[in-house]
Amino acid sequence: MIHKPRQFTPGPTAVLPAIQFAMATSTIQPGTSEFRALYTRVHIQLQQFLGTTHDVVLLSSSGTGAMEAAVSNLTSPGDRVLVLIAGRYGERWSALAKNFGCAVDEVIACHGQTFSPDAIKAALKLETRAVFVQATETSTGVQHDIAAIARLLKDEASEALLVVDAISSLGSSPLDIDILGVDILLAGSQTLMVPPGLSFLAVSESAWDRMEATYNARYYFDLRKERKSARRGESAYTPATSLIVGLSAALDVIAAQAIGDLAAGRRLLITNAETSAAMTRAALLAMGFQLFAPEASSAAVTAVIPPDGVDAAHLIDQLQLRFGTRIAGGHGELEGRILRIAHLGFTDYMDTIALIAAIEQVLASTILHLALGTGPVAAQKVYAEYSGNLSSEPATR
């Protein structure tokens, strides 16, 4: 049969044709009035999408560049910081902070788990200058309670700034950063249906104030330069123009789902991810998988342990070979132990059902007692409940 490529990896997400077309046909040039209008518009769109009044800065970099910018702009050598680690990307915060000379305290959660408030409270010190954490630990499928962490910092009257990596959480979980008191929230273009290469940060006034008192080395990633330039509709350095065009087009697509209301479009995107995640989990459980993070599952990505006798790498390969469908495995010590399925971007009902049916077809050749239809039926029931279409009355003709 013909294979329609489908991507369920935790970033980059599939790029929609409308976004591809906008990027391919743009002839916009930096330094022109046309570019300044676009650049200003994108910043306003990002504020609306993120639900913030804070200034937003754009960087021509991957998400790790934004992480480095957050560390280098907010700290000085010798500053004490707290890093919350529950997987591969939490470890990256720690490596970055150490690279910039910070004294790093760590709270480490086991893979598949999140942090206890008591552990964070015990690690927080009077001299802690910043707390770094993921909203979603994509390597394990865990969702951290950012609201609870923000409340703890407030209750403890801590002067630590809260920095949140939301690269895989945008469009999959509600993060009202102004209300919560997040000082920097950062993300990347790759989870908004745009190719990798752009990152952006929403920055609080407290964080801007901190930057004036820190002295870690920074040049390209000096957020103050980008803020000053953005107010003129310009980038401090050569911008990734095609990606900026693509980002604006992606935000237009999201807004169009809610009759032009970008904030409402983001809420729809979150509901879509939550529904797809719930459908997928119900189906996989019915087919004999186990949730890897049952107590703190993220709507961005589902991590599961395959049934006995099912090789994770073989399942990934067969999905790609037979159905043109890509999912992810585990990193490091989790390689070969778990599978990860993302629910980011415009992964809709049809995509989700197709993925579940494809997994079931691959499993049927390994688990002989698996009845075809087990997974899709479980997913259909969840979708009916989420959409309000489940009737207690039998269907009549």
Please determine, for residue 368, whether its predicted confidence score (pLDDT) is greater than 70: no
From CA 110, how far away is CA 139, in angstroms rounded? 12
Residues tagged in the binding site annotation for substrate? 340
Distance CA 44, CA 38 (A): 10
Cα end-to-end distance, the chain, whole Å? 34
List pLDDT tens digits, range 197-230: 999 999 999 999 999 999 999 999 999 999 999 9
Condensed to tens digits (0 to 9), the pLDDT of residues 125-134 reads: 999 999 999 9
- Within the chain, all domains assigned CATH 3.40.640.10 are found at 17-256
Is residue 329 packed enough to be buried (19+ CB in 10 Å), middle (13-18) or exposed (0-12)? middle
d(CA 142, CA 140): 6
Q: How confident is the model at residue 396 (pLDDT cuts 50, 70, 90)?
A: very low
Task: Enter the CATH code of domain 17-256.
Answer: 3.40.640.10
| CATH of 6-12+260-387 among 3.40.50.300, 3.90.1150.10, 1.10.10.10, 3.90.10.10 | 3.90.1150.10
pLDDT at 391 over 60: no
pLDDT single digits (tens) 140-196: 999 999 999 999 999 999 999 999 999 999 889 999 899 999 999 999 999 999 999
Q: Residues comprising the binding site?
A: 340
Q: Give the residue range(s) of CATH 3.90.1150.10 domains in the chain.
A: 6-12+260-387
Does the pTM exceed 0.75? yes
6-7 and 325-326 strand pairing: parallel
289: which residues sit within 8 A by CB, 6+ positions away?
A: 304, 305, 306, 307, 339
pLDDT at 167: 93
On the CB side of 121, how many CA atoms lie within 13 Å of its CA? 10
Residue range 17-29, pLDDT digits in tens: 999 999 999 999 9
